Structure 1
Amino acid sequence: MTRVRIEGRQVVVTVGEGRVVRLRRELLELLDGVRRFGSLSRSCRALGITLKTGLSWLKNAEGSLGQRLVERVRGGKGGGGALLTAEGSRLLMAYYSAMSVTRPGFVASLIEESLSARNRLSGRVESVVRGDAVSLVEVELEPKQRVKAVVTTQALDSLRLEKGRPVLLVVKATDVMVLSL
């Protein structure tokens, strides 16, 4: 379990058996950028720092924590990118939680910043079919209205999706096919 508290410009992280690691708040902002942009270089640009500085911050934090926080994806269409590891996601979620205590409305502002009303649907998990790499989640929006979504099994675990859990569906697509019945 990762616990985080904010002390000025530092983020104090308690890991494992009570070991304390101090990180700069900008590192967590860098991780947030990786989450939003899927790119370490774009995250660095958004913060106004060089990629070299961002890589240095990341290397120091990963060394202090003893965990990888970002997974680099090489090549492919668009030249690759970056994704948060499970530990990076946990750390960022703990940071969001700590920020929501010190700054009411912080998490809501994050959600509003990246989502429009048109692509959000709220519901409750109706069923989960777990697979090795991907899983199927069925969400009931209203009685007799259901949406099925394929998610990675890693996402299923990190979001703790289970029957009865309230969820917010975010539709992220450039094309949606509609067929008449």
Structure 2
Amino acid sequence: MTSRTARPARSSRSSRSGRSLREPLELGGSVWFQTGEHTLGGASRIALLAAIGETGSITGAAKAVGMSYKAAWDAIDAMNNLAGEALVERATGGKGGGGTTLTPRATKLIATFRAVEREHRRFLERAGEAIENFVDDWQLIGRIGMKTSARNQLYGKVSAVTRGAVNDEVELELPGGQTIVAVLTHESTETLGLTPGAQAFALIKASWVMLLVDDGKPVKLSARNQLRGTVSGVKRGAVNSEAALQLDGGPVVTAIVTNESVDALGLHDGVKAIAVFKASSVILGVSD
């Protein structure tokens, strides 16, 4: 079982009399169950299970939690597979015309999740009162604990979502103001809850990143993502080199390039360069 806090909801506003009214700090968070290295379910999947129990229908449950029918069934299949037993069963035919029901295991899982979520909320409240900067520290602990084979893990905030005929184009603004563009299916955008203002992370393999020397002139390429920065390190290997590019605003992007390319481009510390990669090479994720 894992838990993580969300960004605190703290804001201030001015009253008509001119006095500044500060709202109390509120800690948000989420809990999810894991089996091995796989996530069985978090708040959204548990909500789907509960809605199925209430409506007896996948269509009704999906509508109640704001999912498409396909996304709901994909989530159910994943939960059934990861649980090692059925959590949702679908009956066809019969007097009532069939329907969807929860197994006793699913009902128990919902009750357990809700009990743990209550305790998690109490923990967040106590920790927030006792530990200075608790929310920021807890978020960072969660981020640095993430394991993935992608060398580049960049966090930001969704700044725009453009729906297309088949796929969606999602823009993620990084610290410092530069933007990453990713192309996702409609179902992925919906399932991940990618809307403007949502926090997300982008995964890009180092082998998918190309480097160009930045001479200050506009670059015309088919690749949507062009992040500018300064080379902060080059580690040479037998055939390839690992080049790190410090982006404006702090994040670092790593690229794997041949030693010949390093020499031809004159890549060394302090050189201005551009990290280039396609929108289709970006994988987006969120913390459930």
TM-score range, shorter chain: 0.3 to 0.5
Where is the helix percentage greater, Structure 1 or Structure 2?
Answer: 1
